[in-house]
Amino acid sequence: MSTDEKAIEVSAEAADQEPITPSSEADGSGHGAEGGAGGPIILFFILGLVASLIVGWVIFPQLLYSQKKQPVDFNHALHNEEVEDGCESCHFFREDGTYSGVPKLAQCIDCHEEVNGEDPEEAKFVNEYVAKEREVPWLIYSRQPQNVFFSHAAHVKMAQMDCVTCHGHIGESESLRIYQENRISGYSRDIWGKNIAGFKRNSWDRMKMDDCSECHVRENVNQNSVQTLKGGCFVCHH
């Protein structure tokens, strides 16, 4: 066999052999089968984060607040249109300076001593409350804690604030929305706010102390006002 034939035979044998691939252990890089374990960990972390956000922002608020219907579905828009003095026919300042936030039964009897129309809610009001001389147990959206005294006179008469600032456009509503009550504190969700994180888009979205102080600062309350004096907080908070 000539030298050229031997060279060709050796080349053929080399071509038939499988190529040698360096293993992860050989080169010391550590990128073996275990290197892909980071993918599932990241995936589980993302899924856990999403699940936590859903529970905290969606499910938990629904469990925290119970939903209740008002005893009578009151049509503000209809009364605001039909009654002569509009909102002030039910919400007004009494002679002693106190404010009639929720009208008593005596005020309603003037117009609803008997059923006037075909509205089932009016019939329910007359039959269950007027006829039995029972006050309507309204669920107050803006009911403050017992240690808070809110002066409507100071805000409406002195500061010339519009009712919409705190109560929104409820005077235009044809139906009362669902009352959401905190199962722990017993207060309305309107106090804390619709968003569990406390964010708000409108001034009437919540009624917390932060909102009161924010408004007082924004309106630049007079430096001689009681709110700026030492202990001024106790004017409202006893």
Q: Indicate if the alpha-carbon torsion angle 73, 93, 221, 237 is positive or negative.
A: negative
Q: What is the C-alpha to C-alpha distance for residues 29 and 86, in angstroms, rounded to an integer?
A: 81
Which alpha helices (H) appear in 84-126, and where do they start and end?
Answer: 105-112, 120-125
Kindly state the percentage of the chain with pLDDT values over 70.
77
pLDDT value at residue 31: 52
Name 74's Cβ contacts closer than 8 Å, sequence gap at least 6: 121, 176
Whether the pLDDT of residue 53 is over 70: the answer is yes
Q: Domain residue spans in the chain?
A: 68-102+138-235
pLDDT in tens, 9-44: 545 555 555 555 555 444 444 454 555 667 888 998
pLDDT in tens, 70-81: 999 999 999 888
Give the Å distances, CA to CA, from 163 to 140, 157, 160.
15, 11, 9
Whole-model pTM above 0.85?
no
Average pLDDT, the chain: 80
Q: Using an 8 Å Cβ cutoff, are 80 and 87 in contact?
A: yes
